[in-house]
Copies of this chain bind each other. A is one copy, B any other.
Amino acid sequence: MTKVAARLSAIRLYVDAALDAGLTVEASEAQAHYLLHVMRLAAGATVALFNGRDGEWQATVTVPAKRRVQFNVTQQSRPQIATPDLWLAFAPVKRLEFLAEKASELGVSALLPVFTRHTDVKRVNVERLRANATEAAEQCERLTVPMVHEPVSFDAFIAAWPQDRRLFFLDETGEGTPLAAELMAQQKPTPAGFLTGPEGGFAQLELDALRQLPFATPVGVGPRILRAETAALAAVACWQALLGDWTSRPQ
């Protein structure tokens, strides 16, 4: 087994509570079930905890009652580190759980579902997306979990977008600048985000609206027609490689 594989076998869990030496943290019902009945841990086992603020901590499992688990926080294993601030906004597609999982692994800081005019998917289970994103964060050794926003309409989305955050939208009409060229032309560190359209593409008036925005830039991902989720993940990967934290290595 490699060093990495050995690290992957440790159980890591995201918690809301503050983490510090000597604190006791209550596991959620789902976590208790997972630890006791899926992973079959017993009292005294060690897990790693993170909450997005206090770094990663080792904790000892206790089982104060049937179906209840507590964590006794012992020592910090990694300090909290700053992570790239990249948002991913997307017209909901059928494979949303996959998108949330992969975006979390790739280090996106926020996920924003946007109902565009040609979006076929009419409902987003935000709680489910949060669970997917959290589980992926636990497994990929992130110290944060992406914030998953409630879905909004396209018009509300562009009205609320922060003016100082660059919005790269995936322009399937072929009029966008090639992605890498556009990213390499950016000054870092600029807060940024991507927006991907639905399978049916952006409506013409949405494209017109985006092209008017001073903070929005059309980008292209080549000659093939990518599925929406593929385009989103490809764009995020390129951003991390060129402007994000892929210049650093696993700790």
In which size bucket is the chain A interface?
35 or more
Residue in B106, B175, B179 whose beta carbon sits within 8 Å of that of A226 in the complex: B106
Task: Judge if A178 is at the interface, Cβ distance under 8 Å.
Answer: yes
Task: Judge if A240 is at the interface, Cβ distance under 8 Å.
Answer: yes
CB contact list, A114-157 vs B, under 8 A: 118, 139-142
**Secondary structure type dominating chain A contacts:** loop
Q: How far is the CB of A248 from chain B (nearest CB, A)?
A: 5
Q: Which single residue of chain B is at the shortest CB-CB distance from A227?
A: B105
Check if A246 sits within 8 Å of B221, measured CB to CB.
yes
Residue in B175, B201, B246 whose beta carbon sits within 8 Å of that of A179 in the complex: B246
Kindly list the 3 A-B residue pairs having the minimum CB-CB distance in the complex, ordered from nearest.
A2-B201, A234-B237, A222-B246
Taking A2-B207, A4-B172, A237-B237 as given, write out 5 further A-B residue pairs in contact, using a Cβ cutoff of 8 Å, ordered by the A residue number. A7-B225, A107-B224, A140-B224, A175-B249, A180-B246
Q: How far is the CB of A55 from chain B (nearest CB, A)?
A: 14
Q: How far is the CB of A9 from chain B (nearest CB, A)?
A: 9
Among A3, A207, A234, residue most surrounded by chain B Cβ atoms (within 10 Å):
A234
Q: B residues within 8 A CB of A141?
A: 223-225
Q: Which single residue of chain B is at the shortest CB-CB distance from A238?
A: B241
